[in-house]
Amino acid sequence: MHATLRLLEQTDFPAIARRAVEVLQVNVGYRCNQSCVHCHVNAGPTRTESMPREIADEVLHYLRQTHVPTLDITGGAPELNANFRYLVTEARALGVHVMDRCNLTITQQPGQEDLVAFLAAHKVEVVASMPCYLEDNVDRQRGDGVFQASLQALRAFNVAGYAQPGSGLTLNLVYNPQGPSLPPDQVELEEDYRRILGDRHGIAFNRLYTLANMPIQRFGSTLVSKGQFGGYMRLLKNNYRAENLSQVMCRSLLSVDWQGYVYDCDFNQMLGLPLLDASGRPIRLSELAAAELEGRCIRVAGHCYGCTAGQGSSCGGALN
Ligand code: SF4
Ligand code: SF4
């Protein structure tokens, strides 16, 4: 795989600083039952990195200490981590809002038969990858059979109460483009999704988030292989919108890796750009209190243009 950090380090992206932490995003490991072409994690079935119990306990200790209101659990397929349900249960017991970044097909993997019921019982917000409402496009990006398996999973979430009026169970979908282009307008695409997934397949969801692909890891490497890296970076830069800068997610999100080191966002985690102390040593979550981060410079590089292009892009979709 082609490394992209050296192509991103020299940047004119504006300097930005952190605000108070509102979301703790924990990447519990890179193992996944899928190997999608756009994956910014380079996740897959053969990855072995996985957050152990003592780091999960450091995460819970941080939540207890700081009262950060939201825990966003990602991966890989986070549900494959042996401590996933422990983290969810304990964080919910603290009154923390928990989000699960779910690839949908994981619900049909052996040992995950009760996953939907577990998430519903703990009122976990599900943020599910669904990069198109057309079968061919989903299967091309995520693998053969993924579209049908995803529909089956979405129906199971609906049956469990997700996206049903008054249930308090939230099911949001995530779209990302097939290739090196910007996502379409989020509001219009959400209407298309609602019409097609609803009318054709009887599926309900709450919101659709559109995300730009990041020029790192597997997607970045594919761009390099195809000679499209420079063109994609120009596209991101040419569509820079300054008003997105105040809302990029790293302002209020803190990312943690499976070993307990902290980053400004999951993309920086994948590029190996941790928060550093005064002596240049990577900082651990166990060393932090939330207040220490306010005003701290964010480690920006060329990929940050992926967050500010067009309507903007974040874990919660478009920024404007
Ligand atoms: S994009 Fe998501 S589902 Fe696909 S390989 Fe990466 S972590 Fe797994
Ligand atoms: S890539 Fe990460 S650090 Fe850069 S602007 Fe986006 S969220 Fe912030």
Mutate which of 1, 41, 50 for ligand 1? The one with the most ligand atoms within 8 Å of its CB, which is: 41
Q: Which pLDDT value is given to residue 110?
A: 94
CA of 44 to the centre of ligand 1 (A): 7
- Tell the residue nearest (CA) to atom 6 of ligand 1: 39
Mutate which of 129, 175, 176 for ligand 1? The one with the most ligand atoms within 8 Å of its CB, which is: 129
Across the range 287-309, mean pLDDT stands at 90
pLDDT higher than 80, residue 100: yes
Residue 83 CB neighbour total at 10 angstroms:
20
- Tell the residue nearest (CA) to atom 8 of ligand 2: 250
Atom of ligand 2 nearest to the CA of 264: 3
Q: Which pLDDT value is given to residue 290?
A: 62
Name which of 261, 266, 263, 258 is nearest 299 in CA terms.
Answer: 263
Q: Which pLDDT value is given to residue 315?
A: 82
pLDDT tens profile 7-54: 888 899 999 999 999 999 999 999 999 988 778 888 999 999 999 999
pLDDT tens profile 207-223: 999 999 999 988 899 99
Mutate which of 298, 308, 313 for ligand 2? The one with the most ligand atoms within 8 Å of its CB, which is: 298
Q: What is the 3-state secondary structure (H, E, C) of 54-95?
A: HHHHHHHHHHHHHCCCEEEEECCCHHHCCCHHHHHHHHHHCC
pLDDT higher than 90, residue 282: yes
Which ligand sits closest to the CA of 249? 2
CA of 40 to the centre of ligand 1 (A): 8
Show the tokens assigned to 245: 């800068």
pTM, entire model: 0.95
Atom of ligand 2 nearest to the CA of 308: 5
Report residues whose beta carbon is within 6 angstroms of any ligand 1 atom.
32, 34-36, 39, 41, 43-44, 75-77, 103, 129
Across the range 299-320, mean pLDDT stands at 88
pLDDT tens profile 162-176: 999 999 999 999 998
- Tell the residue nearest (CA) to atom 7 of ligand 1: 76
Q: What percent of the chain has pLDDT over 90?
A: 80
